Each structure stands twice: as C-alpha cells, then as structure tokens.
Amino acid sequence: MNNAGIASFDIPKLMQGTREVLWHAWVLDFFRMIDEVNRMAPETTAILMQAVDRRRVSYGGQTMDMPFGPVYATANYFDAGNFEMTRPFLDRFGISVTAEGLNPQDLELILMPPTELDRSSYAIDHAGREQSFAEIHSMAVSKEALAILKHLASGLSSCQRAGSSWSDKHKSRFGSQRPACDKDSCSFIPARVACSQINEQGITSRGLLALRDYSRALAWFLGKEMVDAEIMRIAFALTMSHRLSPTRIAMNGGESATEATIGRSLFARQTFDFPFHLWDMGAQAYAAQENIYVGLNQLYKDVADGTKTPDALQAQSQTLITQVDAMEDPAKWDILKSLHQLRQLIRANQG
C-alpha cells in the first residue's frame, strides 16, 4: 500500500488542467486490509499512520476522512524480505493476534469442499451495532483489575536511576537511550521488577485506550457483568504483545543483560507469553502491596469526607509515605506523586 493505492488523479481532467482526486476502494470501503504490512518500507507505513489511527488520508494536497470501519493488517514472521515496523506505527493498531501454521491433522479445512454459511444469521444492522457499542462502553471495570493495571503501568514506566528526586523517576528522562539495568547499577533486583522487563518507556496512551476498549468488548462478548482481572489479563496480552518487547534480562530471567542468550530465551518468539508474564508480575507485586493501596484509597475518602482535621490527615499521609518509601518496587514513585498531591490539597483546605 502506498499513495498510489490510496488515490489517483483523474487523467482526462488532469490533461485539461484540472486536478481531481479519485479515491480508491480501499479508502471508501468499510473493511480495509493491508496485506504483508511488514514488507512495506518505513516511509510507506508513515503515510498510513493517519489512516490507521484517525481514518484520514491525504493525496495531491487533498484530505479525505474515510468512512467508519476497521483496518486489518497481516504480517509474516521476520525474514530477509521484511522491514522492521516502527513502534509508533505498531502503536496505531489496537490489537494483535498470532496465527500459527496449519496443523497437518487439519488438512481437511483446505482440501475438502467448504461448508456454506448462512451469513444472514451473523448480520447486524446499524441500530444493533449502536446498541452493542453502548452496552460495551457502559461495562464497568472491577476494582481488582483496575488496581493491578495501575500498579503495573506505574512499574513499567518508572526507573530508579532516572532523575535526582522522587518526582523525576520516569524512563522518559532518558530519552531514547535506555538506562543500564542490572544488579550492579540499580538498587532493585532487576529480575523482580517490571521496569527491567521491557525495552519501551511504558504503556502508551493509545495502548491504554485499546486495553480499555477491548477488555470491555471481550467481557461483553462473554456475557460478563464487568471487566474482571482475568478478562483484563487476556485483553492486556492481546493489546500489548505488539507494543511491548522483552529486554535481554526478561528473556534470560536473570539479573544482568550480559548473561542473556537467545538460546536460553524465555520469549525468543513474539507470543502472548511475554505480556502474560508482565501481567502476572504486576498482579503479584500488587498483592504484596495491597495494604498500601487500601490505605491510599482510605485517605482519598477521608479527604473528600472532610470530617478529619487537616493535622490528622497529614499524619495519616505521612504514615503512608513511610510505608511507600520502603517499597521494593518502581511503582512507588507514582504513588508518592499521588500522596504529594493529596498533601497539597490538605494544606490548601487548611487555609
């Protein structure tokens, strides 16, 4: 797919001096497919970023907002004819699914005559689609699922070596260069903390939005009353497998990147095993610190309730700060930021 695949000029009119853009079917159709997307050069995928993200394309100085509809892309495993897709381009896709090769024991799927499906039984009209969307968007997220996600997201984006104060402990402080992450350069044990596991700065905003939408859709499809922790775990794997890549420490399961080898890799292939591993790390870390989150939520309630004196609230927050500061988890920096904001609010109410 390139600019020529999106649109072209009306040649007869162009010969008469009029530039009229003819948008191709790919732009106008409801479903859009990009086949073997990893065989496209980076400059071509850059053209498609707006199309995937905002359903908007440009050609010959004109812009077209495409009709509502999904964009699908296929990609084979990496070989000599492929290009490495950029992280920003991959981030535009909400979800990824890995399809293994056909098991020879299932050859009848391609050798036998296909069974005709009654497609009318799967049809859904506009009103039905809108109702489905409304029901999906109204799905609530359980407190447990939200708490695990918050803890994991904080842990993935924080770094003990970033900045000089607790308010600067974020991977973005390093720019594109990752910090050295091993047992000799960090006070945490790398194999036990989420921040050492990924090559990226953390979960992107688009990633979080995709996780919100697909977790709700999955819960709705399965007839759940809300998005529970298991549904969120599955949706996390589906939405993050193409967004987050394992470090050598993660692949080795050790404490130093220099000890890792591809032959010993836990995640040599990009499968759902890695995002499941991340989620389970976050769930275990949250469980170990659950009492702190209970105390933080109680402090929020007490501040909003307004029945406790400012001095009592300050003492309550200081106790939490002491507990958080002792955490052996990079997520503590974001918790400290929340506590700092609460203390500012308490002081403001004091006046």
Spatial contact of 181 and 196, defined as CB atoms under 8 Å apart: yes
- Tell me the CA distances in angstroms from 122 to 32, 109, 125, 129, 306, one per residue in order: 19, 21, 10, 12, 54
pLDDT of residue 76: 83
| Strand positions, DSSP E, the chain | 7-9, 21-23, 32-34, 56-59, 62-65, 71-73, 140-141, 226-227
pLDDT in tens, the chain (351 residues): 544 578 888 888 888 888 888 888 888 888 888 899 888 888 778 778 888 888 888 888 888 898 888 899 998 877 778 888 888 899 999 999 887 778 888 888 888 887 787 777 777 888 988 999 999 999 999 999 999 999 999 999 998 888 778 788 888 887 666 666 766 778 888 788 899 899 888 999 999 999 999 999 999 999 999 999 999 999 999 999 999 988 888 887 766 655 555 455 566 555 788 999 999 999 999 999 999 999 999 999 999 998 899 899 999 999 999 999 999 999 999 999 999 999 998 888 776
pLDDT of residue 10: 84
pLDDT of residue 15: 86
Q: To which residue do tokens 């920096």 refer?
A: 333
Tokens of 53: 């993200």
Tokens of 67: 């009709």
Alpha-carbon gap, residue 230 to 245, rounded angstroms: 22
pLDDT of residue 255: 63
> Which of the listed CATH numbers 3.10.105.10, 3.40.50.720, 3.30.70.360, 3.40.50.300 matches domain 3-93?
3.40.50.300
Radius of gyration of the chain (CA): 25
DSSP codes of every residue in 73-128: E--PSP-TT--PPPHHHHHT-------PPPPGGGTHHHHSPPPPP-GGGG---HHH
Q: How many other CB atoms are there within 10 angstroms of residue 150's CB atom? A: 17
pLDDT of residue 167: 80
pLDDT of residue 13: 85
Write down the domain spans for the chain.
Answer: 3-93, 140-288, 290-350
